[in-house]
């Protein structure tokens, strides 16, 4: 039975379970449950602190896990990223009071508060810098005004928490994070390939829609240039003489622009439908 670690609380928890549900897996119904067996798919899910997930996967006690890229890097565990799950996106950045520190190179010798000492120490080692890393559990933005540190390194999503604390970011992000599926390098536990394919199916279904329209056959080449699809668009005959029907997958983010351009070209009956799931 495939054993998978899923975040039990925090930012990653609910979207991780939702993605697994969308991929056809059974998930816990009570947020206090720590284990959930899905016998139909031969998978067992263990609900763990997101910080601990890399540890369980790295030791091989669990086969796969969902965590954040920043948490994986912070753990220093030799687990590997198998798939970017495209949610819980955030950057990991330096911040300080305005004007106090100008650039990433000026952090040497300072006191840095962070809940991710592994990420910070890796950066310092890469740049051959020495600094005093103050490890905190959370609410790191308070550390500067309370005098514990000169700057912080923390997760930034909207930037609202930093603004509230009177801090500004500086320098390049240390890393770009999002939720990821992790596994052990070179390990291929039975059932893992199927889970990966199912999650990839969910990712595609979330980022594409199906577009259908009718167009005069004389304009077909121009129309399909706008909607090339992934493999190739489906073109079917219509009862109406000289017209064809086209179906193609289109990026959700582009669909309104593509619909406008198709309409201007002369296409009609342009319909968009969601894709519930797919295997490409």
Ligand X SMILES: O=P(O)(O)OC[C@H]1O[C@H](OP(=O)(O)OP(=O)(O)O)[C@H](O)[C@@H]1O
What residue ranges bind ligand ATP (CB under 6 A)? 7, 10-12, 50-51, 68, 70-71, 88, 90, 138, 155, 157, 177
- With respect to ligand X, which residue has the nearer C-beta, 5 or 143? 143
Residue nearest to ligand X (CB): 138
Q: Which does 230 bind (CB under 5 to 8 A by kind): ligand X, ligand ATP, none?
A: none
Instruction: Give the span between the Cα atoms of 181 and 199, in whole angstroms.
Output: 9
Chosen residue from 132, 157, 172, 274 binding ligand X by CB under 6 A? 157
- With respect to ligand X, which residue has the nearer C-beta, 159 or 216? 159
47 dihedral zone (left: phi>0; alpha: psi -120 to 50; beta): beta
Q: Which does 70 bind (CB under 5 to 8 A by kind): ligand X, ligand ATP, none?
A: ligand ATP
Structure tokens at 152: 């912080």
Residues 6+ apart with CB under 8 A from 270: 211, 212, 213, 259, 262, 263
Structure tokens at 53: 């997930």
For 218, list phi and psi in degrees, rounded to 5: -65, -20
Report DSSP state, residue 100. T
Q: Which does 200 bind (CB under 5 to 8 A by kind): ligand ATP, ligand X, none?
A: none
Q: How many CA atoms lie within 13 A of 9 on its CB side?
A: 6
Structure tokens at 165: 């604390």
Q: Which of residues 137-156 bind ligand X (CB under 6 A)?
A: 138-141, 154-156
Q: Does 159 bind ligand X (CB under 6 A)?
A: yes
- With respect to ligand X, which residue has the nearer C-beta, 157 or 260? 157
CB 72 to ligand ATP: min, Å: 9
Strand order in the sheet with 80-84: 35-38, 43-48, 2-7, 64-68, 179-183, 80-84
- With respect to ligand X, which residue has the nearer C-beta, 139 or 225? 139
The residue range among 119-127, 157-165, 168-176, 212-220 that interacts with ligand X, by the rule CB under 6 A, is 157-165
Q: Does 158 bind ligand X (CB under 6 A)?
A: yes
Q: Which residues bind ligand X (CB under 6 A)?
A: 138-141, 154-161
């Amino acid at each position: 039975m495939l054993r998978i670690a899923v975040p039990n609380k925090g930012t990653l928890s609910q979207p991780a379970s939702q993605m697994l549900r969308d991929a056809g897996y059974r998930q816990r119904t009570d947020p206090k449950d720590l284990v959930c067996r899905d016998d139909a798919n031969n998978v067992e899910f263990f609900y763990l602190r997101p910080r601990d997930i890399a540890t369980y996967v790295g030791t091989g006690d669990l086969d796969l896990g969902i965590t954040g890229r920043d948490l994986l890097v912070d753990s220093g565990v030799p687990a590997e990223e198998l798939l970017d799950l495209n949610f819980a996106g955030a950057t990991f950045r330096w911040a300080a009071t305005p004007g106090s520190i100008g650039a990433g190179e000026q952090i040497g010798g300072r006191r840095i508060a962070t809940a991710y000492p592994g990420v910070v120490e890796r950066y310092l080692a890469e740049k051959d810098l020495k600094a005093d890393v103050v490890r905190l559990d959370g609410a790191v933005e308070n550390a500067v005004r309370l005098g514990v540190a000169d700057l912080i390194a923390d997760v930034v999503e909207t930037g609202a928490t930093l603004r509230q604390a009177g801090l500004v970011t500086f320098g390049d992000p240390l890393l770009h994070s999002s939720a990821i599926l992790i596994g052990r390098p070179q390990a291929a536990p039975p059932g893992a390939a199927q889970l990966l394919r199912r999650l990839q199916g969910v990712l595609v279904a979330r980022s594409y829609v199906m577009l259908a329209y009718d167009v005069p056959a004389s304009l077909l080449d121009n129309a399909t240039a706008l909607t090339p699809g992934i493999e190739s668009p489906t073109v079917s005959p219509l009862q109406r003489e000289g017209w064809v029907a086209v179906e193609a997958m289109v990026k959700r983010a582009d669909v309104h622009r593509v619909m406008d351009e198709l309409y201007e070209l002369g296409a009609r009956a342009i319909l968009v439908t969601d894709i519930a799931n797919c295997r490409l």
